[in-house]
Amino acid sequence: MTNKIIDESLDLRIRRTHKLLFDALKSLLTEKAFEEIHISDICNKAMVHRTTFYKHFEDKYHLLNFLLRQIMIDFEEKSIVQAPSINSREYYINLIRLLFEHMQENKKLYSVGLLNNSSTIKLLKKLIIECIKSSLESNVANGVKLTVPIPIISEFYSAAAVNLARWWLENDTPISIDEMVKYTDTMINRLDT
């Protein structure tokens, strides 16, 4: 995962501190649930004083928000590189693939730290909603007509993505990513066939 969320115009010491804190939280999330992680755990792991943490972040939720936003930025960048001009359906299918691939690569991060707590699930869902809304708004700006309002589409697909991914991990990834993507595509587009 890149660190583009860390603004490169910031002082090198600030960027270093942010990176240390991001890496510490990410590492801790592979060991225990987010709710069990304390600011002191993050600071100890990052070797950063607690007062330094609070100079940069309000609380651990603020830091988590930045970490999850970085994951979403990475998804967006990969999505654009893989298919620069795609329709809403293809965008969503691609987003599902990227989510499953990231979860498979970071299984402990998700199964231990992120997908076992309602507040982290809610935040992840919120970020996916933002990605979907952004894509749909871009499509509408390019002349695509939608019969359902964007907030409803975004809410529906984000909840489906997070819940499906959670089920997939909880059941020890019993179905391949390709099959999951194919089934998702079928459910979205060809349910009546």
**Domains annotated on the chain, with CATH:** 12-61 (1.10.10), 67-189 (1.10.357)
> What rounded mean pLDDT belongs to the chain?
83
- Predicted confidence at residue 128, as pLDDT, reads 85
Tens digits of per-residue pLDDT, 177-189? Answer: 999 999 988 887 7
Which H helix or E strand runs over 180? helix 177-189
Tens digits of per-residue pLDDT, 68-85? Answer: 888 777 777 776 665 555
Please calculate the CA angle 23-28-30 and round it to the nearest 5 degrees: 105
DSSP-assigned letters across all residues of 2-32:
--TTS-TTS-HHHHHHHHHHHHHHHHHTTTS
Tens digits of per-residue pLDDT, 166-175? Answer: 888 888 888 9
